[in-house]
Amino acid sequence: MILGRVCGSIVSTINHKFYDNKRLLLVDRLTIAGEPSGKYIIAIDSVGAGAGETVLIIDEGNSARQIVEDETAPLRSIIIGVVDQINPTT
């Protein structure tokens, strides 16, 4: 899993019914220091993540399909959690 920050949304015409009424978010991947990297991923949201929030993303089709409870979903990347805190070990 990876950490990201929600930095935008995508408006796209997708014909597959799975994407009806799904929000597509633009997520900037975070570095280990918690800073935006400029590398991104487009993910759907399963937790109501808002702009600027730090999120946890899983990027694997079978996992994403389990989260949405739809084994036929054409889906790879999904936000599964809002990150409350990153605790470095020192």
Q: Maximum Cα–Cα distance for the chain, whole Å?
A: 49
User: Does the protein bind a second copy through residue 4 (CB under 8 A)?
Assistant: no
> Cα separations (Å) of 81 from 10, 11, 17, 27, 58?
20, 22, 24, 13, 9
User: Does the protein bind a second copy through residue 1 (CB under 8 A)?
Assistant: yes
Which residues, numbered 49-68, are part of the site for a second copy (CB under 8 A)? 51-52, 56, 58-64, 66-67
Q: Which of 20, 22, 35, 43 binds a second copy (CB under 8 A)?
A: 43
H/E run at residue 39: strand 36-45
- The rounded distance, in Å, linking the Cα atoms of 38 and 36 is 6
User: Does the protein bind a second copy through residue 22 (CB under 8 A)?
Assistant: no
Q: Interface residues with a second copy (CB under 8 A)? A: 1-3, 6-16, 19, 24, 26, 28, 31-32, 38-43, 46-47, 51-52, 56, 58-64, 66-67, 72-77, 80-89
